[in-house]
Amino acid sequence: MVPGDSGPGDTAPGIAHRTDTAPMTVATPPEPSPPTEPPAPIQPPTQVLPAQAPPEPGDLPTSSPRVDEAKGDDE
């Protein structure tokens, strides 16, 4: 009744050992990931919102006069 003596019996214990080592390595990367995510998204969102607001109004006035000139040429 020795596992080493049986062909199929020796394969069962070998596969179980590999599955035990796989979960241990996968649980290590997720730990350092969460602490680095919260600090990064808090800085960019606040600076990107105010930076996009000023360029929008400046583009509107520049397009207004251009449209007027095009209409005058048509007349």
Q: Give residue limits of the domains in the chain.
A: 7-74
Alpha-carbon gap, residue 41 to 7, rounded angstroms: 55
Structure confidence at residue 22 (pLDDT): 54
Q: Which residues contact 10 (CB under 8 A, 6 or more apart)?
A: 3, 4
The contacts of residue 4 (CB under 8 Å, 6+ apart) are 10
Q: Helix, strand or coil for residue 3? A: coil
User: How confident is the model at residue 47, as a pLDDT?
Assistant: 55
Residue 41 is predicted with a pLDDT of 56
User: Residue 37: what pLDDT?
Assistant: 54
With a cut of 70, list the residues of the chain below it in pLDDT: 1-75
Q: Give the pLDDT of residue 32.
A: 54
